[in-house]
Structure 1
Amino acid sequence: MEKLGFGPGRKELQETVETQRKQLLQYQSRFKDVVRAYKSLLKEKEALEASLTVLSVSQQDHHGGPPPSGPPQEDGCSLHSEDSLDTAASVEESEDQPGEPAAVLQSDLDAGGSDSSRVGAEPLQQATPPPSSEAERRLAQLKNQLTTLTSALATVTQEKSRMEASFQADKRQLKQEVEEQEAELHALQMHKEAELHALQLQQEAELHALQLQLAESRARIITQQHERQQEQDDHALQLRELQRILQQERDLRQDAELQEGAESQSHLQQVRDDRDELSKKLQAAEDERKKPDPRAEQLQRELTQLKTRIQDQISAETREACEAEQRSREAEQRSRDRAQAAEDRVSVLELRVSELSELLGSSEKQRQREQHAAQRLREEVLQLEAENKTLAIRDGGQDGGQVGGQDGGQDGGQVGGQDGGQVGGQVGGQDGGQVGGQEKLQQQRSPELVAAQEQQELQELRALRDEFERHKLRAQLVLKNKNSRALEEARDQLSELKEKYINLRIHSDEAEAAQRRVLEERQQLAAALQLQHRREAERAAALHREQLQLLEAELHKQRGRTMQLLQEKEQELEALRAAAPPQEPDGDALSVALRRAAPSEPSLLLYAEQLARKEAQAGALRREKHRLQDELHRLQAAALADAERHAEEAAALRGRGDKLQRDQSREGANMEYLKNVTYKFLTLQDASGRMQTLNAILTILSFSPQEKSCVAKLQRSAWWR
């Protein structure tokens, strides 16, 4: 409402109404005290006026004046008492109407002043003596005077006792309030001290718990470091074992390749010899092959089928190579995914090594399968040639048995020595009649047909051999490219991971330093806040002590003023008693008593004002106590919030510390592994073992291909040997 320009809000209006209600209650209590004091003063005034009337009448009688015409109770004093009673009643009615206290009090005071002015005039009007005798009138007058004085004295005594009782009650109430305030202040101080002590104990307990947690974390980190070191050692042993096995497999593969090369050379030489022999035999049987032979056509079809099977096998091998390449791509994708996690880089590298080993094993198996397939093809070709020879021999006649037997025995022995006994056994097992028939068939066939067929077979064999060599070279090139690409990618990823690790290490150091500075600042701020709270508590205690001393001083002053007021009242009563005998010649004592009684009214008003002031001070103290309690609650809430924030920051710092410890332990493990590999390389005497450790060192340190080639050149020198 206030922001929109519609005046104060509802809360402010309620606070204003509550403040005005409290002020009205204070004014009502003060006004009641004033009315009560005014009633007491009216009673005393009535008593004194009655005494004054009696004494004035006695003085007039003593001087020979006429007696009053009515009883003493019905003179101007009685009229004034009735007016005073009316005034008191009007004042009591005005208490129920707090809106018009000043006007009613002013009207009552004006009425009382007019009644008191009529008191001195009415005794003069009633001066006519009654017709009774002088002695009876004198006796009755003395009795009336005595009664009036006695009642006045009783009234004054009653008012005095009432004032003393009121004073004692006020004194006890003030003392009780002071004691209650002291007790509340002491309880508040004790409560604040207890809360501060509890807060300190809680902070100490939290600090102790944090220290225990830090010690446990350090012990756990040390244990994890030992476990990680053990794991690194185990992994290093496994990696060395895998490298040793890989080197052995490479050596075996090289030996097998050399052996296969030698075997292929010998087999090729054997095939060449067979070809020469077949060309001679075909040249000899050229005349016998003029007519088309159904068996030759069958052999041609079988050769076509063999070509088809070879093509199918080549396509199957190509598909297998594509599948292997796809698997290698998938393996590379998996390796990229695994390389993203910096913490698993050791396991990723081991997995890469195992994958490379598997790829090498699979390539080796594939190559062996290809070699077996080529061997089978060679055997089939040889078998077909042998069958061709056998068919040619069977188709021949029985002529030249002896010569053919000798030639067949020689040919069979030669082929059996070159081809492992397979073709030689078949040829050598033929009798001399078959060889003679073959020579006869060679003589019958034309030489052009034999040469064309031989040339065609040689071309097909050469094409098959070339295609097999191309496929073999292609497979080796694919495997080599795949391995080199995977190795280069692994090196690149390792270098990137190292750079990331260095950057993360730098950032973690900076973050740790920043967090340490923030923690120190927070600790200094907490100490400053604690010191400030302690100073504020001491300042509040000193302020309360000063206020208590001021209250005690005011209480002593009020007690002194009250005692002085009582002494003045007693002096006034003594003066009235002294002025009571009628033989006094003049009324100077009464005038002096009246003059002394007049200043009592401001004293009572001052007393009521002091009481109101004490109530206001007590209310201010209560408000101050509430304010201090609110401030204490606010400080407690702030302390709890700071404690929670400190706990969260401590947890975050502990997490970062654990991460830094893990990073340091991993870096230490890597350095330890590198140290072990270097030590093994320097202490080994075996050339193969030194080669394996050298490869491990080159892999760990991410040597470039140029550096590796330089190291390989140096390895060939005598220093490496």
Structure 2
Amino acid sequence: MTTITEHTNRRELCEIICAQQEKLKHYQTKLKDLVRGYKSLQKEKEALEASFKAISSQKKTNVPEDTQKVENKFGDTDKEESESSEKSQETQDAGHAEHSSIGCKDSQQVEALSEALVTLTEEKSRMEAAFQGDRRRLLQEKEVAIKQLNEQEQAASANVKALEAKLSELRMKLREEQTQREHEESNHAAMLRELQRLVAQERRTREALEEKLEAVTLRAAQADRVKEYEAKVQRLTLELTEVRRRLSDAEAKADEPSPLLLKVQQELVDLKVKHQQELECELERAAQAQAELKQQASGSETRVASLEGHLQELSQAVGTYDRLRLQDRVAIERLRERVSQLARENATLACSAGLGIGTGVDYAEGSEDSNLDVATLLDRFTKLRQTLKEANQRAENPVNLMAYFRELAEEEVLGLHAKCHEEQEQLKDEFERYKARAQSVIKNGSSLKGQESSREKEVLHRQVKELQGQVKSLRAHYEAEEQKNREKLTQLQNAMTDATVAHRQEQCNLESTWRTKMAELESLMQGQRERTLALLEEKDRELHVLRAATLAPNHALSAMRNAGNRAERTADSGDSADPLLYELLAGQTSSKNGNTKAERQLLFYVQELARKDVEVAQALRAKHDAESALRDLQRVSLTRERRDAQELEILKLRLRQLEDSQHLGKGGSVNLQYLKNVVLQYLLCADSSSRRHMLNAIAAGLHFTSAEMDLVLQAAAAWW
């Protein structure tokens, strides 16, 4: 029972009440079916009991009539002279009344049997109508289920369309973000261009200052103005340091990524991790569902096999019982025919013997009653026979009248009827034996077999009902499991579709990201090339200046060296000193040092190019890995779809087989008879078109699939 906790709310209670009401309705329908089946079985039982009573009463009435006929033929031969013709007429009327009462009893028995047959026919027709109603109801339920499945498919397609619309919206948002990012990049590029312009302006200022410095250094021969020059150099160095710092801040700000881009990248990483986790969960769930489906399929196959074996055993037992019952009926009918034949022969012989006895008595007593006519003698004989029978019944020791009359007959007609007497004795003995055997067989068979057959019928009916209930429950369980598997399959397909869409979106995002990175790298490389060319031009100018400076006096050269050394120390002590100024001051010492610095700049440029190449190679490798992962995922999804389709086909085939087996269990005799006739005609037919027609009928009866039908047609083409 459903346990109701303290925290259940009203909705849960309503759901519990609805579930219990549905269960009550289900149980009511089951109880109605059971009551209806019990009533039909009760009617069949009453009809069978009525027919059995009618048959048994008919048997009991036939036996005493035969014995009475024999006794009437052989008794009372010495009462012929005591009755008149009026008494003979009354006796004939009593015989006619007795025959009419027997005819009434037969007609009543026939009416009872006909009523029993009508009752059985009505019950069978009612059961057939109930079966047809259930079949129509099941077909309607199947159509409703198909309609619901179509509606669910339409709803799923609508959901897919809605998801596609959401995906398109997300793509549009992503495009908007990309456009915003491009706009920001363009703004940053404008800022960089402005900064580069400022740097160029500062460079021109520096060049002007350097020219002034050169002029000052040329005029710094005097010792009293060295300190002034040093102060100017320090001031200019500080200004250059400030410009350098501002330039580095601008470059750092330009190189710093946008927070929106960082947020989008983090969201992409989170989505990728979440998608991977969901994909792993769905794969585990699919594996569990497949394992459960295989286990349930094997269990259902085992149960169905056991039920089929049990049904086969029951059908064999029922067939054996029906065969034995038919054999018993045939034996009983044969014995009845033999008994009736012996009774007729015995009656014929008794009539002939009675006539002979009457003749002998007439001759013996002819002297006394020679004056009486035949009618008077017959009347007297009838009265005396009746009186003798009553006296023999009232006597304490009754006499065997048959033996007495037989002795009289043997004494009087021994010479004339010896052969007839022997045949009569043999027939009488055989008749008695058959009568005793028939009575014993009828009694024993009717008592034992009736009880056994009733018990076996009840047991078989009970077992058949139980098996039908088990088949229905198994079918319902199988349909529920199939519905669950279909839902799981739909969920997996939806999850796979979502994963594919997300993966494609992620791939597009990665491609766009790498394209933007490649564009940035190309722009950086282009800027680096431009800066390198500018640096080379600047170095050329410095070389020209150095060549001109070599022609200056030696004291000016020493002063320039001292100033260059002080500038170098100042540049080394500061964290953000300008290397270009250091190169300028140090490059004025000698052309060799200038060439070394230029080589260092070129080496730095080569290293930057190598680093960019490595980054591009890594990006291409990551793109290749992503494409290979996408292909693997598509291949796995395609394999899973094929496997799910195959499993779905197998489940549909098993469901069709179960429906066919259940249909054969309900109407198997008709289908087997039809199939037997079709197969027989197929084997006897010699025409190819007729054989093809019969083959189509066999395939329709056995519910061949399209693949099985193709295989059969291919094999049949080789036969024909």
User: What TM-score results when the alignment is normalised by the length of structure 2?
Assistant: 0.41
